[in-house]
């Protein structure tokens, strides 16, 4: 069942989702379909599409094209861990997933999902990714899926650059980078410039407005990447794959 293309606001969408309200938010259930079928998921951690297996269905398929057995995957903006679990499944025991997430609410669910699925190849990093090492303000006032770095945010979170972590040997160099960091994608790329230049990871990137999209594409093309747009560019940005 793929509900991702059916609006919550439509009559059909509301009717299909009504039974889900009977499931306790704290329930841990098996994911019903897709590569993660049978893996455990906490119902109230995110949209029901996650445990149904239909969450971002087309993006899942693209991610599966990128990640190979033995790969090292960076999940930047891991939220509660859907792509962390998917990366762990695709990379296998010989691979590794590093999940970056600063929001305490999301981190709690992320760690639970890693633990309940007994994953030994996942490493949770309590930080946001940016273009310097230190601290920044973080706004979590909206939905947990859209929390983001911002000058006037109510939380203070740790920020790190991927370059510094890789160069200090704290994390393995990446084979694949998934970046969905709610308007901080330019900062994330800038803080990973040397890592990208040296290790040439395959990149799945969400851009969140036209200006950021243009800056990110310019950076990636200048670094020798070929850009594949997954959806049409709008005012709200798009998703793309960058191939080295």
pLDDT digits (tens, 9 = 90+) for 193-222: 999 999 999 999 999 999 999 999 999 999
| DSSP class of 132 | S
Q: How do beta strands 28-30 and 122-125 pair? A: unpaired
The neighbour count for residue 74, using CB atoms within 10 Å, is 30
Domains and CATH numbers, the chain: 56-243 (3.40.50.150)
Banded pLDDT at 37 (limits 50, 70, 90):
very high
Give the model's confidence band at 15: pLDDT under 50 very low, under 70 low, under 90 confident, else very high. very low
pTM of the model: 0.88
Average pLDDT over residues 100-122: 96
- Which is more confidently placed, 135 or 99? 99
Over residues 128-162, the pLDDT tens digits come to 999 999 988 777 766 665 656 666 667 888 999 99
């Amino acid at each position: 069942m793929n509900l991702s293309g059916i609006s919550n606001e439509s009559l059909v969408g509301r009717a299909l989702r009504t039974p889900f309200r009977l499931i306790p938010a704290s329930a841990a259930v098996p994911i019903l379909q897709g590569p993660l079928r049978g893996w455990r998921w906490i119902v109230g951690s995110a949209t029901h599409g996650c445990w149904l297996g239909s969450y971002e269905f087309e993006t899942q398929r693209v991610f599966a094209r990128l990640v190979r057995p033995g790969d090292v995957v960076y999940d930047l903006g891991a939220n509660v861990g859907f792509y962390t679990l998917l990366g762990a499944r695709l990379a296998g025991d010989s691979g590794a997933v590093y999940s970056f997430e600063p929001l305490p609410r999301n981190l709690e669910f992320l760690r639970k999902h890693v633990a309940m699925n007994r994953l030994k190849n996942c490493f949770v990093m309590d930080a946001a990714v940016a273009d310097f090492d230190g601290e920044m303000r973080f706004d979590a006032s909206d939905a947990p899926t859209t929390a983001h770095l911002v000058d006037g945010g109510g939380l203070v979170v740790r920020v790190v650059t991927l370059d510094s972590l890789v160069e200090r040997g704290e994390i393995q160099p990446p084979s694949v980078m998934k970046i969905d960091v709610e308007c901080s994608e330019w900062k994330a790329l800038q803080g990973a410039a040397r890592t990208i230049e040296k290790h040439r990871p395959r990149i799945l990137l969400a851009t969140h407005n036209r200006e950021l999209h243009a800056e990110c594409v310019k950076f990636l093309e200048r670094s020798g990447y070929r850009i594949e747009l997954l959806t049409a560019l709008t005012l709200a940005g798009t998703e793309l794959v960058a191939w080295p």
